[in-house]
Every structure is written in structure tokens, then in C-alpha cells.
Chains A and B, each alone.
Chain A
């Protein structure tokens, strides 16, 4: 009998954390209120008091708390990041989610008993990479970048004893996480350096005669006709002109959803599935957690007869970017 798959849900705030726990998350992940994590947005995340309260709330209900420290410290800010590692150890989180090799080195040396996960921002796409992190820092779990097909995920799992976590739902990164500088190219700030992709302060909306313009760092990334739905502007999901044709040249606004393939993930022996969205509302977290809890329970109970219920699909599409979903790279045809 395979181990149960852990459902890992986003906590951008205390209300979101409670929503995740109350709706069936096995673990929540959160970040401190600064650039040490990849969702460094105004008004989000946890100061020390909120972190203690969140950990207490989850623990009393038998759930785990993971802390994301998944940006890349530069020498000028090194002490802030190591301070965050020390603080997390003192708070007693169940695991740290790290991306930077230097920080892993520090954490492994300074807090040898602290469980470490490799963040998706660590860009480990092969078992050779994963095994390096395992050998050097005793990484226990790896979150896979959204670039591998199902067959490739399987292959990775056959060649490592690290636990594997994959994304189950949420906004889809089209590029290999941790190695995308599109945001800093246009705005000066990237997920790696500042914990923000397409930072809000660089976004500019403008009504013009031709329609509603949205710019990022001054670059026109999309233009909406009156009445056309507009999402949060990220560079890789804008409309551009290539060879005379305007299109979503990189990717449409869409969300990842693995609802269709949950039984396969369960059979493969995936350790955890993750929901993206620490920047989203507690209502989103509640909704997505509830649906995935039900779906995962169903897939584990009876993988052979599992089919995604239409009300699950509808509920997830309602909160999905572009109100639509894809398997992303897991499905070879998407690539």
C-alpha cells in the first residue's frame, strides 16, 4: 500500500492558513514578510507573531507547516536570509523550502536536524541534480519544476529516494522556475532576486482609444478590447507580435490542474501535491483545498474508477487564471 499523498496548500496570511487547514490540507506553506520568499507582495505573508499563531493553529489540528525561503540571497543581504533560517528553526517549522545552494549549505551546517525541501525555484529537473542536493544537504523532498512530462517524472522517481512533490493546481509558470529573468529584464525585479514576478509597482493600466493597455516596466504586454476579461499581467502570458501576427506567443492565461491524472500520480508514488497561490484570497484557498481534498481522497480510495466530478472541474475553473486549465508539460502535447 502506497503512502498517502500529502496535500500542500498555500498560506499567504493567517486567514488563508486557517482556510487551508479547515478544508483539509495536510500541510500549509508560508513565508516571512520580506524578500526571503518568492511571493513577496505587499500585505502578504507572516511576521513572527502571525507565524507562531499559524503554526499553533495547524499543529493543534495535526497538520504540518512548511516555510518557504526560496529566493536567492546576494552578499549584501546574506544575514537577512540566514536570520530567516535561524528564526524558522526556532519557530519549529516542519520543513524549510529552500532554493539557494549557499543557504542550504548554511541550514544543513547550522541546523542539521531541520528537515529541508528543495523548492521548485531550485530547478532540479533530473535525478542527477536531485541526488546532488541529497548528497550535499540531505534534502528530503524535491518540488519538481513544471517542465517534465509524466514519463519523465516517473523516470526521476525511479532513480532517487527523495520524496517528490508536484504542482497540482494554480497559475502556471511556463518557464523553468528559478531560471527565468523575464521579470527583471522588464522591471529590474525577479523571483530570484526580489521574490516577485511582474511586481505590482511596475504594472501600469491605461485606457486608450484603442482599448485598455497594460504595461510592465513600460513595455506594452497586452491590450484589451472593451469588455474583454483582463487578468493579472505576467510577461509570459501577454499578447505580442511575431512575424506580423499578434497572439499569445508564449502561453495563454491558464492554470495548471492535475485533476484528470490524480490516480496516476497516486500510483506513481508521488509524496505530495501542491497548490499554488499564496497571493490569492482565503476564499480561493478554501475552494481549491476543498475540491482537491475530495478528489485526492477519491483517487486514493479507488484509483481505477476515479473520474473527476464536473462540479470539481467547474469550481476550479472558476478560480483559474483565464478560467481554463491545462496539464502543462505533464502532457507532452502541451510542449
Chain B
């Protein structure tokens, strides 16, 4: 089973990004997704920078995939998309059907988590167009994954989002800019102030969502480290860990250890205690509300703790 580092979803400074990926070279991850998947106004790290990082990670033995923007609205975004697809060296993660069209028959691609692959007919089309891996949408359950694995087209790897604040929605509107009463066209890149998103709480103080520019994430951190053996049994080839600003080395290490069997799942859960940016959640895996944390199919938490 391979470990992948998902695309960095936050707007960190160029120095922080470069420093982060320098560390990644030595981490036990097999695949690294690079690039800006959220907002085209974030230009601190240019395509040339991403390609340089990609070269270094390739030299360190990692498989590199370039991620495309999830929401494409402007012509300039299509231009960037074409440049990515035509990079000539690296596979791309298509996060929009426009990206699928541009990649089809030209470059091997990963069907990203925002493409809405809910069944095997859909995967069949992606495979026919050149996909070699797909990432399951975060809202799908273990039971659906099992059903899809039973009919998935040959030659297509399965990747599951296993750690991190989950991308839940995209909008034309920038919620970080809105919070500061700034128009999107003059957003002053305020999302750069929040290295793990800006948390939105219920009026009784329950952390609910994290605003990350035009993207809305879960405030809770998805954590499937406790079900790694189930993921293995379902023939999942890749687990995706989505970067957070701190402790990512320990997160990667714990997942690697559970995959290799040097930590039990429970030890893995314990190892990540206190290291997740939000409260842990795994509800989607059990076909429940995404924010819930369940143990062995039993609701223990998420809400009860916060008094709901």
C-alpha cells in the first residue's frame, strides 16, 4: 500500500512551501501531488517553482503528479490548465471535467476527488480516456468503496482520502475575503493568514467548517488510520494524506508504521492524538454524517462531546 501526500490546499508563503517540500524528500511517502488546486489568484509559487520541486522529489524517488484547479471559471485558468497538461514530464490529477478533456489521450491522469466518480461506469469512461488512478469522493462510504472495488475497471488504481481537513465545497465567492469585507477582486490574499483555514464555529462554539478562500473544508480532520487494515483488505492501493501546517512528518510516520504493521491501528490512533488540526472524524467511512467519529461502527462522538 502506497502513501500519497495530497496537494497543499492552503496558501502558504513561498518560503514555507519550499521548506515543506524539502522535508518531504525524506518522508516515507510514495506519491506527491503538487500545485494549486484551490484558487488561481495564489501566485506565490509559480508553475516553474512547482516543476523544480517536482524534479527534486522525483530525484528523491517519489512519484510526482501535478494537480489541477478544482473550479475553472476564467480563460486564464484554462491557459494554466493547458500548460500543466502539456508539461511533458509529469502526470496530472484532473480535478475538473475540462482537465479530463485536455488530458484525454495525451497524458496519463489521476481522476481527482472532485470529479464525482460514484460508480464503475463512470470509472470505465475515465479509464478509457487515460486515467490510471481515481480518488474516491470524500463523502462515499466503506460499503460503496467495497462495491466499486468489486467492479472497477482493470488498470485503475484506487486512492482514498485518509487524513486531513476534507474539501467539502467550492464557490465563486471567496469566504475569507467576505469575512474581511473585501471584494474578491481585491482580496489581498488574506487566506494566506490562515495556514490551516479560518474556522467557522456554531453559535455554541462547536468548530464546524474551515474556510479556505473559495473552498469550504471540514473543521474536523478526517482520520482513517484506525481502518488501514480494512482499506488493505479492499485492495486500496494508495492512501492520501492532506497536508496540514504542523506535525505532518509525524502523521506520515504513523500511517507508514500502521501500514507496515509496526504500530497497531489503536496505537496509530493514539499516536495522532492531539496532532490533528481539528477534532478527528471518520463518519463518512461508516456511511454516517462526515463530522462524526465512530469506533467499530458505534457512534461515540463528534457531537456528544460538544454538547449537541
Q: Using a CB–CB distance below 8 Å, which chain A residues touch chain B?
A: 72-76, 78, 99-103, 105-106, 122-129, 131-133, 135-136, 146-149, 152, 155, 174-176, 178-182, 184-188, 190, 192-193, 215, 217-223, 236, 239-243, 246, 249-251, 328-329, 332-335
Contact = CB atoms under 8 A, between A and B. Distances in A.
Contacts of A176: 71, 169-172
Interface residues of B, number: 75
A75 B119 contact: yes
A178 B119 CA distance: 15
Contacts of B70: 179
Given A240-B201, A243-B198, A147 B172 contact: yes
Contact of B208 (A148, A187, A240, A334): A240
Contacts of B169: 175-176, 179-182, 236
Interface stretch (B30-38, B137-145, B229-237, B240-248): B137-145
Contact of B122 (A102, A128, A146): A102
Contacts of A147: 71, 73, 170-172
Contacts of B208: 186, 219, 240
Interface in B79-96: 81, 96
A192 B121 contact: no
Nearest to B308: A218
A180 B308 contact: no
A188 B201 contact: no
A185 B150 contact: no
B17 interface: no
Given A176-B170, A180-B169, A102 B308 contact: no
Nearest to B115: A101
B289 interface: yes
B97 A241 contact: no
Contacts of B45: none
A128 B289 contact: no
A105 B124 contact: yes
Given A128-B98, A147-B71, A155-B75, A184 B205 contact: no
Interface in B250-296: 283-284, 287-291
A180 to B, nearest CB: 4
B8 to A, nearest CB: 20
Contact of B116 (A76, A106, A123): A123
B306 to A, nearest CB: 9
A102 B205 CA distance: 41
Contacts of B118: 72-74, 100, 102, 192-193
A117 to B, nearest CB: 15
A84 B304 CA distance: 40
B101 A187 contact: no
B202 interface: yes
B119 A250 contact: no
Contacts of B121: 78, 101-103, 105-106
Contacts of A149: 73, 172
Most chain B Cβ neighbours within 10 Å, of A101, A127, A131: A101
Contacts of A185: 139, 166, 168, 218, 289-291
A335 B218 CA distance: 21
B182 to A, nearest CB: 11
Contact of B203 (A178, A239, A328): A239
